[in-house]
Structure 1
Amino acid sequence: MRIRKNAVITAVGGYVPDTVLSNHDLEEMVDTNSEWIVARTGIKERRIVNDPDIATSDMATYALKRLMEEGNVNPDEIDCVIVSTSTPDYVMVSTGSMVCEKAGLKNAWGIDTNAACSGFLYALTLGASMIESGRCKKVVVIGADKNSAIVNYTDRNTCILFGDGAGAVLLEQTEEPVGLMDSFFRTDGSGKENLIVTAGGSKFPASQSTLDEKLHYVRQDGRVVFKAAIQGMTDTCNEVLKSNDLVSAQIDYLIPHQANLRIIQSVGEYLGLSAEQVKVNIDRYGNTTAATIPLCLWDFKDDFKYGDKMILTAFGAGFSWGATYLKWGTLRQSKKD
């Protein structure tokens, strides 16, 4: 019988900036109040880069270096780095290549992917495919975004939502019955106008007009996104369960994209999971877009045990959404352990 070779997460790392932007800080900036923000989003504070010299690649590198340290990973053995981000350092130079340079990875190649808040899951599947095929032995997948670079801090509807951060995972091959088991993804380009940064690409290159109209900032129709996110995340979770002959009662943890606590709670309730099974850190970090899921894995890694069944799910601009079925493996131990 042929043994299935899976891609399993063997190390994790994360980074959030030191600067805290609290709801009370935002009260001094825009017409809002902390009670309203918490009630509507579940966010109490978020982390923001306050050094203009720190870019997305720097945060991604910090997360990767922590992964390598805590997982006792030799940088020369890493084959590939996939960075999922909506806020690359440059339009033409990939953030992945910058991370390889800054982290001292001499034998790795790096690329970027962009599926907004769903990007980490998409990139995770790409990385897993390279591991499963045997083309690579060690692939690092990073979700990182410096959202403060694209947030208009005079827009009360969006500035309360987003924070900066990065999370990273290492994928390796295993013949054990753990790792990435399945994924189900969907996209709908007709939803793009409801969550978008309009200018800066080839459609609307930077100009005085795009600057004057503030088209380089993220904007969204919150009501449309809210409803679509609950529907999309719930549907794809159910599709993954169905295709793997599972019921929600067999799932140990839900790791959802941290966009809005009400969305997270609704998806958990639809799946019949308890609050303890649904991992949440949006109250501390806000929405870090592609970084939310890997940051959750990093934050709560000590809660997970070998063989735990997890559903990871996200919804983002594009529209893009999906779910991944993951069975937790064994993390590498650092030298100090």
Structure 2
Amino acid sequence: MEDTKVRESVPIGVIGTGSRLPERQVGNTEVGAPAGVDDAWIVRKTGIRHRRWADPGEATSDLAADAGRAALERAGISPADLSFVVVATSTPDSPQPPTATAVAEMVGATPDTAAFDLNAVCSGFVFALSVVQRALSASGGGYALVIGADVYSRILDPADRRTVVLFGDGAGAAVLGPVPRGRGLLATRLSSSGAHRDLIRVPAGGSRRPASEATLAGGEHYFRMDGRGVRDFVSEHVPPAVRAFLKDSGVGEADIAHLVPHQANGHMVDGLARGLGLPVARVHTTVREYGNTGAASIPVTLDAAVRSGAVHPGDTVLLTGFGGGMASGFALMRW
């Protein structure tokens, strides 16, 4: 487990957010028919009513760049001022080069900007926030664009009702930069349970099982998930880990004004919120309209909360990410 509290001399926080969802809205009837399920079944099992899927000409970098531009505009920061562009994704444009290099060029960052991808699946945005915050703080400040973006519709098996009904595409972004003392990222905690890594996977297409006629014929390039195993892992491990994180950070559960969880499944989000027992926190969700957008789900939901006017200066915000790996990432911010 990796655990850090922000004690450096330069406080770093989120100074602008942005998001981009594809235009195409996919309803439960459309997505459920090939999988043999209907709208009522999907709503009962997941709480999801719609999701957005990218058009054939749209890739992860396209959504990420649009979200990044929106975040930069709201932050009032020029792309030329960025030290880092980081894209958290498990559905990159291609295995290499990093999708972040395309995004950096698309938003207008200079060649001096360090651009790289980070893959912690659905926890990726929180992992990237933690890594970039420390890099900026240790170097005395500066600005960074951190994006969570995924296009899961390209790796879903249309006949697999366990996965195809859950996932949507999207991108959410945050600009990090110096903030007044007492604000910004207060603490983060990152952890991974490799023993549970097979709960969420794409079996083939990498160096262990390269692409072949056999893997393609077997559908091994599709996303696979043990939904029951994921649910059990989250319910058993995440609430006590969050409570320990808050205790170690010196923040009371009643001090949390906003909870922004990974939008895995509508019912799972509701259960997690009940399990955490945060007495006054407003729980922000987008899963019912956008589905599970992977690494994009937390920044998309954070952006929606900010743009709605719900988050005010001085509010304490808790981000809780969990997903493949099995990786968990928690971040505590004072807005």
2:66: which partner in 1?
62
Please list every run of at least 4 consecutive aligned residues from structure 1 whose deviation after the TM superposition is greater than 4 angstroms: none
Q: Which amino acid aligns with 1:170?
A: V
1:307 maps to what in 2? 314
The 1-side partners of 2:314 and 2:212 are apart by: 52
Separation of aligned partners in 2, 1:92 and 1:137: 27
Q: Distance in 1 between matches of 2:69 and 2:323?
A: 27
- The 8 Å contact of residues 232 and 321 in structure 1, kept in 2 or not, is answered as no
Per-residue displacement from partner, 1:130-189 (whole Å, max 9, x unpaired)? 121125500111000010111111211110000000000000023421111111221111
- Residue 323 of structure 1 is matched in structure 2 by 330
Report the CA distance between 1:236 and its aligned residue. 2.3
Alignment of 1:186 with 2:176, yes or no, is: no
Deviation at 1:274, TM superposition (A): 5.8
State TM-score, norm by structure 1: 0.93
The Cα offsets for residues 287-331 of structure 1, whole Å up to 9 and x where unpaired, read as 001000000111110210011111110111111113111111xxx
State the alpha-carbon separation in 1 of the partners of residues 175 and 15 from structure 2.
6
Alignment of 1:227-242 (within 5 A): 227-242=232-247
Match of 2:166 in 1: 161
Amino acid at match of 1:266: G
Q: Which string of whole-angstrom CA distances, capped at 9 and with x for unpartnered residues, describes residues 38-89 of structure 1?
A: 1211111000012x22111111001011112233221111111011000011
Secondary structure of the structure 2 residue equivalent to 1:156: coil
* Structure 2 partner of 1:94: 98
CA distance in 2, matches of 1:77, 1:204: 41
Uncovered stretches (5+) of structure 2, i.e. residues with no partner: 1-6
Between the aligned partners of 1:58 and 1:136, the Cα distance in structure 2 is: 28
Q: In the alignment, which of 192, 197, 212 is matched to residue 207 of structure 1?
A: 212
Alignment of 1:29-68 (within 5 A): 29-50=34-55, 52-68=56-72
What's the CA shift for 1:203?
0.9
Aligned residue for 1:228, secondary structure, equals helix
Counterpart of 2:181 (choices 176, 180, 193) is 176
CA RMSD of aligned residues (A): 1.6
| 1:237-276 mapped onto 2 (5 Å cutoff) | 237-273=242-278
The count of residues paired between Structure 1 and Structure 2 equals 326
Change (3 A) 1:226 1:54: same
- Which amino acid is 1:319 matched to? M
Q: In the TM superposition, what is the alpha-carbon distance from 1:276 to its structure 2 partner?
A: 6.7
Shift of residue 267, structure 1, vs aligned partner? 1.8
Query: How do 1:12-27 and structure 2 match up within 5 A?
Result: 12-27=17-32
Structure 1: tracts of 5 or more residues without a match: 329-337
Q: Is the 8 A contact 2:256 2:281 kept in 1?
A: no
Aligned residue number for residue 119 of structure 1: 124
CA contact 1:236–1:323 (8 Å) conserved in 2: no
Q: One-letter code of the match for 1:259?
A: A
Q: Distance in 2 between matches of 1:275 and 1:91?
A: 43
Please state how far the C-alpha of 1:252 moved relative to its aligned partner.
Answer: 0.5
Q: Distance in 2 between matches of 1:185 and 1:235?
A: 14
- Residues 234, 271 of structure 1: 8 Å contact kept: yes
Deviation at 1:3, TM superposition (A): 7.9
Match of 2:223 in 1: 218
Q: Could you say if the C-alpha distance between residues 317 and 249 of structure 1 is closer, same or farther in structure 2, counting changes exceeding 3 Å?
A: same
**Paired residue for 1:103, among 104, 107, 132?**
107
Residue pair 2:254, 2:279 contacting (<8 A) in 1 also: no
Amino acid at match of 2:169: D
Name whichever of 287-296 and 125-134 sits farther off: 125-134
